[in-house]
Amino acid sequence: MIRVLEKKVADKIAAGEVIERPVSIVKELAENAVDAGASVITIEIKNGGKSYIRVTDNGCGIPAAETETAFLRHATSKISTAKDLDAIRSLGFRGEALASIAAVTHTELITKTADEKAGVRLLIHGGEILAKEATGCPDGTTMVVTDLFYNTPARRKFLKSDGAESGQIIDFVSQIALAYPGIRFRLINNGRHLFSTAGKGDLHGAILSVYQLAEYRDLVAVDYTENGTCVKGYISRPSLTRTTRRNQIFFVNGRVVASKVIEKGVNEGYRERLFEGRHPVAFLFIETDPARLDVNIHPNKREVRFDDEKAVTEIVSKGVRQALGTMAAVTEVKNIFTAAPKETEIRAEQTERKEEQVDIKQILSTKRRPERKPEPEVKPQPAVPSVREENAPYTADLSVKVPTVKASISIEAPGQKPFDFADLEITGVIFDTYITAVDRENFYLIDQHAAHERVFYEKLVGEYLADEKLRQPILTPIMVEVPLDVKENEYDWLDSLGDMGFAIEPFGMNSYVIREIPTFMSLSEAEDFVNVFVENISSGTQLSNTVVINKLITRSCKSAVKAHDKLSMPELRALMDQLAACRNPFSCPHGRPTFIRLSQYQIEKMFKRV
Ligand code: ADP
Ligand code: MG
């Protein structure tokens, strides 16, 4: 039942709903659709939502007799007395959104309840009802909102570019789709279908649908509870990182928040596994006692304050660490025998390659400019609503709220068993390349070459970053010859090699002599490394450019490490020990897996024993 609230109730509710930008409209309409119990919600926008927003749901619909009432200020079906304010279950309750939207746009409502035979179409321009007529339509509600701020040009001027406005809408719809994996969300921008979720309730599925990145298939499930606080969600393996935190979304008691405390927990959980300046991907839902939380610290920021910040950081970091220590963090065979990669996957792979180069670039730039400021976040900073702050002007709250019903989000938790290098028993080598190993429940293939590359790469970068270089003198110096144009550059590249732990100096016309090499390299590795490094330099090479150095390092790393070297058992063990000490033992610097896991169960299945 929709009715106009008593004045004192209305006053109790913060006044003055403000529609600031297109995303505020999308948010209000999408939340109404959620409140209406819809299982399918389609959102379509044009020109960043400035010229066109459509939200269609299959929810309960609005009875024909109540359509006009719905557009009155303080008209809501969701609460009726002041007491109800303390026990709000719905997303909306102020009864202001439709009135505010209709006041500054051309609005069309088409709606039908299951009980009624025909639907109704209502047309409102600037708050004035222009038409109401019966119409045939499916159960549910469609709102079409066009020409935002057509009657308030001053406010229209404050809108950003189409791209900036649609970016905020895409972010919002992505978040609400993750918050409600049980609802099928579809987003269309300028006629182009951006994404749709399955609405089956599984969070991982929703993440894949929203982001459409093949690399997100391997996210690892987090599910950890301590002292009544629980953290659930998905995070990336350490091999998948970004240069910003944009791919980290945190929900606290159903609200999207920015939180240094949670960020810190994530960082600590990954500690020793990530390089400086790299951020993992994380979608985390934290549920805690509301009494231990203050959500109203800043009206315009989506921030929360935890009573016990240390405890939250620790719970998050434990959850992350537990997840990363599980079998799920090791590439599984079932993930490999999938169909030929689709175009999107190839694109994802290319991004990964690019990412890998940035990886070193980040490290190098951190080294060169230690006081680099973190990149500014360009995400919207929605407001946190405060019901208790009476009469405070209510600015658009863009945060996403999720139902407190925990069952609505399902987290699959495969392979939550801890992975421990100490449990590995090396059983041999096949094709002189792949180490075979077992633990109690799994069989592993380890690519000796990829493993060696990972070890070599991490040691080299470690050496580069270290203040004290660990050099070893060599008995027979290595001679290197370079073309004359490369010689011109020598100040730069001699420096770079020095930073990596080589002692190298000019020796005649265009020759150089290496007298000391990094301790972790063999003689032949050092020789190959320097040769490839120098070979790839030409007169135009900008060695002050970290991207260029990156490429040189990765390329040289790759050729220095040889495949098909026959290793003895002690050498294999040493390699595995070194791999165990790596930050990212499960992939090589180029993102290929070092480990493949086949569980006993999978093997038994292949032989049709189970
Ligand atoms: P609130 O959501 O705060 O109640 P709104 O102005 O957003 O206020 O909506 C007013 C009323 O219109 C709601 O209480 C609800 O009864 C009805 N309504 C709005 N959108 C929908 C929808 N998509 N499906 C069903 N009912 C709706
Ligand atoms: Mg509403």
- The helix (H) or strand (E) run that includes residue 209 is helix 203-211
d(CA 469, CA 462): 10
Question: Are 567 and 429 spatial neighbours (Cβ–Cβ below 8 Å)?
Answer: yes
Q: Does residue 59 surpass a pLDDT of 60?
A: yes
Residue 2 lies in a domain: no
pLDDT band at 408 (very low <50, low <70, confident <90, very high): low
Residue 65 shares a structural domain with residue 115: yes
Residue 383 shares a structural domain with residue 451: no
d(CA 303, CA 256): 9
Three-state SS letters, 75-116:
EECCCCCHHHHHHCCCCCCCCCHHHHHHHCCEEEEEEECCCC
Q: Tell me, what CATH number does 134's domain have?
A: 3.30.565.10
As given in the structure block, the two tokens for residue 449 are: 């070459």
Report pLDDT digits (tens) over 497-530. Answer: 998 899 999 998 889 999 999 998 888 889 988 9
Q: Does residue 206 surpass a pLDDT of 50?
A: yes
Atom from ligand 1 closest to the CA of residue 57: 23
User: Where is mean pLDDT largest: 35-44, 65-74, 417-426?
Assistant: 35-44
Average pLDDT over residues 206-211: 96
Q: Does residue 393 surpass a pLDDT of 90?
A: no
Sequence-separated (6 or more) residues with CB below 8 Å from residue 70: 2, 62, 98, 109
User: Where is mean pLDDT largest: 253-257, 261-265, 564-568?
Assistant: 261-265
Phi, psi of 432 (to 5 degrees): 55, 15
Give 381 Cα–ligand 2 centroid separation in angstroms: 20
Residue 437 shares a structural domain with residue 468: yes
Report pLDDT digits (tens) over 448-463. Answer: 988 988 898 888 888 8
Cα 399 to Cα 43, 67, 169, 385, 551: the distances in Å are: 17, 27, 12, 9, 41
C-beta 93 within 6 A of ligand 1: yes
Mean pLDDT rounded to a whole number for the chain: 81
Q: Does residue 169 surpass a pLDDT of 90?
A: yes
Percent of the chain with pLDDT over 90: 45
What letter would DSSP give residue 243? Answer: S
Closest ligand, as measured to the CA of 112: 1
Instruction: Write down which residue in 149, 168, 190 finishes a domain.
Output: 190
Query: What pLDDT is attached to residue 560?
Result: 72
Residue 220 shares a structural domain with residue 324: yes
**Range from 363-367, 470-474, 592-596 carrying the lowest mean pLDDT:** 363-367
Ligand 1, atom 25, lies closest to the CA of 61
Report pLDDT digits (tens) over 283-306. Answer: 999 998 888 887 666 554 577 889
Long-range CB contacts (within 8 A, 24+) of 225-230: 226/315, 226/318, 227/311, 227/315, 228/288, 228/289, 229/286, 229/287, 229/288, 229/289, 229/292, 229/311, 229/312, 229/315, 230/286, 230/287, 230/288
C-beta 69 within 6 A of ligand 1: no
Average pLDDT over residues 87-113: 85
Helix, strand or coil for residue 126? coil
Query: What pLDDT is attached to residue 395?
Result: 39
Residue 371 shares a structural domain with residue 237: yes
Instruction: Write down which residue in 387, 415, 443 finishes a domain.
Output: 415
Residue 439 shares a structural domain with residue 362: no
Residue 234 lies in a domain: yes
Q: Does residue 184 surpass a pLDDT of 50?
A: yes
Q: Tell me, what CATH number does 482's domain have?
A: 3.30.1540.20
Give 144 Cα–ligand 1 centroid separation in angstroms: 14
Give 56 Cα–ligand 2 centroid separation in angstroms: 14
Report pLDDT digits (tens) over 126-144. Answer: 989 999 999 999 999 999 9
Residue 185 shares a structural domain with residue 210: no
Report the 10 Å Cβ neighbour count for 391.
11
How many distinct structural domains can be found in the chain?
3
Q: Does residue 98 surpass a pLDDT of 90?
A: yes
Average pLDDT over residues 360-365: 47
d(CA 96, CA 277): 44
C-beta 356 within 6 A of ligand 1: no
Residue 207 shares a structural domain with residue 328: yes
Residue 532 lies in a domain: yes
Residue 49 shares a structural domain with residue 181: yes
Probe residue for ligand 1, chosen from 25, 27, 78, 98 as the CB with the greatest number of ligand atoms within 8 Å? 98
Bridge-partner residues for 306, per DSSP?
293
C-beta 199 within 6 A of ligand 1: no
As given in the structure block, the two tokens for residue 314 are: 């620790």
Name the pairing type of β-strands 282-287 and 220-226: unpaired
Query: What pLDDT is attached to residue 339?
Result: 39
Residue 481 lies in a domain: yes
Helix, strand or coil for residue 53? strand
Query: What pLDDT is attached to residue 588?
Result: 80
Residue 136 lies in a domain: yes
Q: Does residue 386 surpass a pLDDT of 50?
A: no
Question: Are 364 and 546 spatial neighbours (Cβ–Cβ below 8 Å)?
Answer: yes
Domain span at 545? 422-597
C-beta 92 within 6 A of ligand 1: yes
Report the 10 Å Cβ neighbour count for 479.
12
Least Cα distance to 351 among 557, 460, 213 occurs for 213
Query: What pLDDT is attached to residue 266?
Result: 96
Residue 88 shares a structural domain with residue 16: yes
User: Where is mean pLDDT largest: 1-10, 204-213, 480-489?
Assistant: 204-213
Instruction: Write down which residue in 415, 448, 463 finishes a domain.
Output: 415
Give 479 Cα–ligand 2 centroid separation in angstroms: 75
Residue with tokens 């100096």: 505
Question: Are 284 and 253 spatial neighbours (Cβ–Cβ below 8 Å)?
Answer: no
Residue 603 lies in a domain: no
C-beta 415 within 6 A of ligand 1: no
Residue 377 shares a structural domain with residue 434: no
Query: Residue 384 carries which side chain, given as an amino acid letter?
Result: V
d(CA 74, CA 69): 9
Q: Does residue 388 surpass a pLDDT of 70?
A: no
Ligand 1, atom 16, lies closest to the CA of 77
Give 404 Cα–ligand 1 centroid separation in angstroms: 21
Question: Are 297 and 196 spatial neighbours (Cβ–Cβ below 8 Å)?
Answer: no
Residue 278 lies in a domain: yes
Query: What pLDDT is attached to residue 40?
Result: 98
Report the 10 Å Cβ neighbour count for 190.
14
User: Where is mean pLDDT largest: 121-125, 421-425, 495-499?
Assistant: 121-125
Closest ligand, as measured to the CA of 56: 1
Residue 355 lies in a domain: yes
Average pLDDT over residues 249-265: 90
Residue 32 shares a structural domain with residue 130: yes
Long-range CB contacts (within 8 A, 24+) of 266-272: 266/235, 266/316, 266/317, 266/320, 267/317, 268/313, 268/314, 268/316, 268/317, 268/320, 269/235, 269/316, 269/317, 269/318, 269/319, 269/320, 269/321, 269/323, 269/324, 270/238, 270/320, 270/324, 271/317, 272/583
Query: What pLDDT is attached to residue 376?
Result: 40
Question: Are 599 and 441 spatial neighbours (Cβ–Cβ below 8 Å)?
Answer: yes
**Range from 53-67, 394-408, 418-432, 536-550 carrying the lowest mean pLDDT:** 394-408
